[in-house]
A and B are shown apart, each in its own frame.
Chain A
Amino acid sequence: MSNDLSSEMEVDAFRRLFPLRFHERHLQESIRPDARPLGKARDTSVALGAVASADGSALAKIGCTTMLAAIKMEVMTPTTESADEGCIAIDFHMPPICSPLVRPGRPAEAAPVISKQLSDTILSSGMINLKELSLVSGKAAWMAYLDIYCLDADGALFDAALLSAVAAFSHLQIPVVSLNDDGRVVVVSDEDGGKLEKEPVNKEKRKLKLSSIPFSLTCVLHKNYILADPTAEEESVMETILTVVLDSSFQLVSLYKPGGPVLAQTSVIQDCVALTRQRLKELQKILNEAVSDMEED
């Protein structure tokens, strides 16, 4: 019956009343409502140094999905088990500005899930050697607080969040610090650089060495179709999603499929991994360009 209706109805009305049929119609023609082919991700951009009050920051955009990540470095006393290691604390926030579904005092369900996924991915990928965050063995080490804010939520939140997080780490400038007489770590400011009383403890270690940076691609699985980089509308209407994280040497870091009626067969997972490999090259290029743009300035 709705088939007959579709020929008479306005496109927008049809889209709202029968969202699934609307999308399936497109899928039959191997195209998506925003004119993308099924395997193509949206336009992506990265800008480094968006927040001056942080030690490292980045703004990442995938289509309309926007993430702002910033790192603040604080000093902590390392535990006795890992005396020469620093720490990274990762938190993902969805403030009420980002989506009509989030309201103050009622946080989004997705936020803690993504927060945990990000934390697991970044720490287990081995991108950062925690030993590099040590200042004085057993006495002082860096605690890197990475906070990621979703400014606009339009699907593929994890991908955008991870991209902004790794970009913020590549922008990170560790402040030069020295130990004062009370044994506290203080920043060496440029102004009194001439009359230095104490030698800085980390003159050499201003940048973290990032090895094997992880990149991800989320795909929507619907019947036999695989749609890369879904929008919020596609995510909400279709059956399930699958997120693949690969590191820069194409090693699998993480694979995440949160239930849903479609089972991911081996061939489907292989297809998703292949799509992620292509996407990884794109993302690497975008990140490298952002870094070299910043160095030129």
Chain B
Amino acid sequence: MAGKSGATPSTYSPSPTTQNKKRPPIFSDVDWVRSDGRGFHQCRPAFLRTGAVNSASGSAYAEFGNTKVIVSVFGPRESKKAMMYSDSGRLNCNVSYTTFATPVRGQGSDHKEFSSILHKALEGAIILDSFPKTTVDVFALVLESGGGDLPVVISCASLALADAGIMMYDLIASVSVSCLGKNLVIDPISDEESYQDGSLMITCMPSRNEVTQLTVTGEWSTPKIHEAMELCLDACSKLGKIMRSCLKEAASPVQE
């Protein structure tokens, strides 16, 4: 049968790729309507659940619009044999995409850059001294990419860590803002991200009011950066509350 035998013929996706399209002029106007009908400063509705993967020590599923992510946490478990002795614990992060996550079929390989950003975002919040000599593994799989993937992965990962009972100073909430012409658009979808002039992502611990990571790319003016940071911090504290209530919900039936 003609399965995967022999050389796979080269294929192409029949859907038009977004890269070839010019940026619609609408984005440079002051007033336009986002394709999902949200206001510029309105985040997508967040759906969060812990305990998505039974075989993991802790896990969480997050769905923000079309962005769907699962994060599993394993450990603390024995570090690799080759690792030197260490008084504090180690954190190991990995982010990968499914082949069908993006509009054009991908290779489903590891996302090295995101893995390292996730590591840096989480590192500051975890009390690594609480598990010496061992490693905590945080693995994320993006089931579907609908824009703002990285902030969703980070928030979901901190929820999974909490589910696994890893000691942290606080939960970590992450939100990004895109700059499109004159407007700041919070929690952008893929289309908005592909036409953005610049992007800003904040990862913070909402109840301590501390930022663990701040990434700015593209073209920004100083007042715009201030405005974007205010927007993000405000959204992070709201997201933090949603995450907290999700954890409480998961814990309450046990107490009964």
A96:B1 contact, CB within 8 angstroms? no
Does A22 make an interface contact (CB < 8 A)? Answer: no
Q: In the bound complex, what is the Cα–Cα distance between A29 and B98 (angstroms)?
A: 44
Residue of A nearest to B80 (CB): A103
> Interface extent on A, as a size class?
35 or more
Does B19 make an interface contact (CB < 8 A)? Answer: no
Q: Residue-by-residue, is B1-21 near A (CB-CB < 8 Å gives 1, otherwise 0)?
A: 111100011111111100000
Residues of A within 8 A of B3 (CB): 87-90, 119-120, 123
Write the nearest CB–CB distance from A130 to chain B, whole angstroms.
7
Does A199 make an interface contact (CB < 8 A)? Answer: no
B96:A153 contact, CB within 8 angstroms? no
A74:B139 contact, CB within 8 angstroms? no
Stretch of A1-9, A32-40, A49-57, A278-286 that contacts chain B? A49-57
A152:B53 contact, CB within 8 angstroms? yes
Write the nearest CB–CB distance from B80 to chain A, whole angstroms.
9
Q: In the bound complex, what is the Cα–Cα distance between A209 and B68 (angstroms)?
A: 30
| Chain B positions 29-74 with a Cβ under 8 Å from a chain A Cβ | 52-57, 59, 66, 68, 70-72, 74
Q: In the bound complex, what is the Cα–Cα distance between A53 and B101 (angstroms)?
A: 6
Does A242 make an interface contact (CB < 8 A)? Answer: no
**A97 and B102 contact, Cβ closer than 8 Å, known pairs A74-B11, A153-B55, A186-B16:** no
Residue of B nearest to A54 (CB): B100
Q: In the bound complex, what is the Cα–Cα distance between A186 and B12 (angstroms)?
A: 10
Of the A-B pairs whose beta carbons lie under 8 Å apart in the complex, a sample of 21, sorted by A's number, is: A51-B143, A72-B13, A72-B100, A72-B105, A74-B11, A74-B13, A74-B14, A74-B105, A76-B11, A76-B12, A90-B4, A93-B98, A95-B96, A97-B59, A98-B53, A100-B57, A105-B110, A120-B3, A147-B98, A154-B54, A187-B16
> Interface extent on B, as a size class?
35 or more
Does B99 make an interface contact (CB < 8 A)? Answer: yes
- The answer, among B10, B72, B94, B101, for a CB contact under 8 Å with A76, is B10
Does A110 make an interface contact (CB < 8 A)? Answer: no
Residues of B within 8 A of A51 (CB): 68, 98, 100, 143-144
- The answer, among B11, B94, B103, B137, for a CB contact under 8 Å with A143, is B11
Residues of A within 8 A of B16 (CB): 186-187
Residues of B within 8 A of A70 (CB): 98, 100
Does B79 make an interface contact (CB < 8 A)? Answer: no
Q: In the bound complex, what is the Cα–Cα distance between A43 and B156 (angstroms)?
A: 27
Does A232 make an interface contact (CB < 8 A)? Answer: yes
Does B141 make an interface contact (CB < 8 A)? Answer: yes
A72:B59 contact, CB within 8 angstroms? no
A53:B100 contact, CB within 8 angstroms? yes
- The answer, among A57, A77, A124, A152, for a CB contact under 8 Å with B54, is A152
- Give 5 nearest A-B pairs by CB, closest first: A74-B11, A97-B72, A64-B54, A70-B100, A96-B139
Residues of B within 8 A of A53 (CB): 66, 100-103, 144-146
Does A272 make an interface contact (CB < 8 A)? Answer: no
Does A145 make an interface contact (CB < 8 A)? Answer: yes
- The answer, among B54, B57, B141, for a CB contact under 8 Å with A95, is B141
Write the nearest CB–CB distance from B122 to chain A, whole angstroms.
16
Does B140 make an interface contact (CB < 8 A)? Answer: yes
Write the nearest CB–CB distance from B68 to chain A, whole angstroms.
8
Residues of B within 8 A of A287 (CB): none
Q: In the bound complex, what is the Cα–Cα distance between A88 and B9 (angstroms)?
A: 11
Q: Residue-by-residue, is A105-142 near B (CB-CB < 8 Å gives 1, otherwise 0)?
A: 10000000000000110011000001000000000000
Does A194 make an interface contact (CB < 8 A)? Answer: no
Q: In the bound complex, what is the Cα–Cα distance between A130 and B5 (angstroms)?
A: 15
A97:B54 contact, CB within 8 angstroms? no
Write the nearest CB–CB distance from B19 to chain A, whole angstroms.
15
Q: In the bound complex, what is the Cα–Cα distance between A145 and B141 (angstroms)?
A: 19
Does A229 make an interface contact (CB < 8 A)? Answer: no
- The answer, among A66, A120, A124, A177, for a CB contact under 8 Å with B14, is A177
- The answer, among A73, A89, A184, for a CB contact under 8 Å with B4, is A89
Q: In the bound complex, what is the Cα–Cα distance between A96 and B249 (angstroms)?
A: 27
Residue of A nearest to B1 (CB): A123
Q: In the bound complex, what is the Cα–Cα distance between A187 and B98 (angstroms)?
A: 23
Q: In the bound complex, what is the Cα–Cα distance between A155 and B12 (angstroms)?
A: 36
Residues of A within 8 A of B165 (CB): none
**A143 and B55 contact, Cβ closer than 8 Å, known pairs A90-B4, A95-B141, A119-B4:** no
Q: In the bound complex, what is the Cα–Cα distance between A177 and B190 (angstroms)?
A: 24
**A77 and B9 contact, Cβ closer than 8 Å, known pairs A52-B144, A72-B99, A152-B53:** yes
Write the nearest CB–CB distance from A54 to chain B, whole angstroms.
4
Q: Residue-by-residue, is A73-97 near B (CB-CB < 8 Å gives 1, otherwise 0)?
A: 1111111001001011111010111
